[in-house]
Amino acid sequence: MLGNMALIFYARVSSKDQNLERQIYRAKQVKANKVFVDKKSGKNIERSGLQEMFNYIREGDTIEIVSLDRLSRNYNDIKKLVQVLKEKKVKLLVDDLPITHTGNDLVDNFLLDMMIGLMGFVAENERQKIRERQRQGIERAKQKGKYKGRAKKYSPNSTSREGRLVYQGVVNDYKTDNYETKVQLANKYGISRQQVYRILSTINQ
């Protein structure tokens, strides 16, 4: 190491039960000057070891991690943390991204940015796929008549006995023409006119 520049290693596992041994071994291999450790989920950046490391680092230092998901499992957090490192002029080495270790800082930064951009694309693409699968699932369920949406109070399958009885009463009166107006039906069963229309729309489908 030149001057006061330090090689800092950051290791993280998700829980106290998981083993940090592999990451600590790597830190010894690369002769890290300082090691920061967290035994906490990577879902956010509220971690004492991570915060201590960011307070400790100085311009010209290098941080090494075994993989980007040690920093965080959240793409936006990774992007934010890497940006902070750039502003502090701290280099980031990621063991499982050897293409970002060319030795040329400009190229390394460009490749790291490209990898993080690709991760963002993959993450957003996955979110869109999940949303699309949900939409298709709802469409298929609707086609099969299985999509219930929010449970309706007045329906043949209502969890409320009163709801089932009101539904049957409105349907029977409607089918036997035993009513004068829909308003009169609503008043008879103590429900709103919109609820009468909803009940009738189910038998007209």
Which residue bears the tokens 């409607």? Answer: 174
Query: Which candidate, 40, 116, 58, 35, places its Cα nearest to that of 82?
Result: 116
The answer to whether the CB of 59 falls within 8 A of the CB of 32 is no
Spatial neighbors of 60 by CB under 8 A, at least 6 apart, are 3, 4, 5, 89, 90
Gyration radius of the chain's alpha carbons: 30
Q: Is 99 helix (H, G, I), strand (E, B) or coil?
A: helix
> What is the percent of the chain with per-residue pLDDT over 90, rounded to a whole number?
27
Task: Determine the average pLDDT of the residues in 59-76.
Answer: 89
pLDDT of 204 > 70? The answer is no
Q: Which of 14, 48, 67, 192 is catalytic?
A: 14
pTM over 0.85: no
Instruction: Compare 26 and 73 and report the one with higher pLDDT.
Output: 26
Tens digits of residue pLDDT in 86-128: 999 999 999 888 777 777 888 888 888 888 888 777 777 777 8
Q: Cα–Cα distance between 77 and 82 in angstroms, integer?
A: 9
For position 1, what pLDDT does the model report? 42
Tokens of 24: 């600590």
- Contact between 179 and 164 (Cβ < 8 Å): no
Is 14 in the active site? yes
Phi (first) and psi of residue 46, to 5 degrees: -80, 75
